[in-house]
Amino acid sequence: MPGNTDGKKPKLENYFAYGMSFGLLGGVFLSLIGTMLENIFIQVGGFGIGLSLGTLVGTLFYSIENKK
């Protein structure tokens, strides 16, 4: 969160929520690609991959922001 001058620390829960939301959005697009390719594994796995990668990216952003 740029411009954090009031000394408040960022909350991990917010970063999890944003990461999971955008990860699920990416998972939807991956599932759409799986639907076009008629691949059941990509269709079902897209949501899990998106959720896990989104959570990982949210945690990484939190750790980077927390070090400042």
Is the sign of the CA dihedral 14, 4, 63, 46 positive or negative?
Answer: positive
Judge whether residue 31 has pLDDT over 90: yes
At residue 66, the pLDDT reads 86
Judge whether residue 3 has pLDDT over 70: no
Judge whether residue 65 has pLDDT over 90: no
> Residue 2's pLDDT band (boundaries 50, 70, 90)?
low
Would the pTM count as exceeding 0.85? no
CA–CA gap between residue 60 and residue 68 (Å, rounded) = 13
> Residue 6's pLDDT band (boundaries 50, 70, 90)?
low
**What is the tally of helices (H) and strands (E) in the chain?**
2, 0
